[in-house]
């Protein structure tokens, strides 16, 4: 089976297409280098935390992420694609086992509470079988407003924005935007009440 050239008239690299939010193939050498760097820095953060060296752990995390607000804490382990597209606001707490697939930007606001085993997933793949077989993918950004609380095991899908102060119940799957000041639960997550 031969794979057709989806980018015959596009001189950009796959990384350039990825950063533009367009379809791309994840075989770019720079992406591979950055993914290995991210893995090493996440591992360094984990090892420093285990050793009780909070300063070294914070340094590795600061080097890994696009931005890390003052007083924010990320409890390892942490899994990212690149790290550079993850931005965490001040005083946010991220519990263990966050998976932040940051092919596109992931913005986590200030004063958020992120439960254990949360997944923030920006990658998308074509529904049509041919381009999916040809390994095409893209990504859509995720935005969490300030003071958002995601319970344990929440999954946030590509392109979702969650408004300020919103609470998402444990195990929920968020497939579309949620407004500010609500409680949402379920799969797919649905608003069950407003927060006064």
Q: Cite the active site residues.
A: 125
Q: How far apart are CA 104 and CA 82, in angstroms?
A: 10
Q: How far apart are CA 196 and CA 187, in angstroms?
A: 24
Where do the DSSP E strands lie in the chain? 24-25, 67-68, 73-74, 78-80, 86-88, 93-94, 98-101, 106-108, 113-114, 119-121, 123-124, 136-139, 142-144, 149-150, 155-156, 161-162, 167-168, 173-174, 182-185, 190-194
Q: How far apart are CA 17 and CA 23, in angstroms?
A: 6
Residues 145 and 129: beta-carbon distance below 8 Å: no
């Amino acid at each position: 089976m031969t794979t057709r050239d989806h980018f015959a008239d596009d001189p950009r690299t796959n990384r350039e297409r990825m950063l533009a939010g367009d379809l791309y193939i994840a075989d770019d050498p720079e992406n591979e280098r950055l993914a290995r760097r991210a893995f090493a820095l996440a591992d360094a953060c984990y090892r420093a935390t285990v050793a009780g060296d909070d300063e070294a752990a914070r340094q590795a995390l600061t080097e890994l992420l696009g931005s890390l607000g003052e007083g924010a804490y990320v409890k390892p382990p942490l899994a990212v694609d690149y790290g550079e597209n993850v931005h965490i606001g001040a005083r946010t707490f991220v519990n263990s086992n966050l998976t932040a697939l940051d092919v596109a930007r992931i913005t986590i606001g200030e004063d958020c509470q992120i439960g254990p085993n949360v997944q923030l997933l920006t990658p998308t793949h074509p529904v049509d079988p041919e381009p999916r077989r040809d390994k095409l993918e893209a990504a859509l950004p995720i935005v969490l407003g300030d003071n958002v609380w995601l319970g344990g095991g929440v999954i946030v899908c590509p392109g979702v924005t969650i408004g300020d102060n919103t609470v998402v119940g444990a195990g929920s799957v968020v497939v579309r935007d949620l407004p500010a000041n609500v409680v949402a639960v379920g799969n797919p997550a649905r608003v069950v009440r407003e927060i006064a």
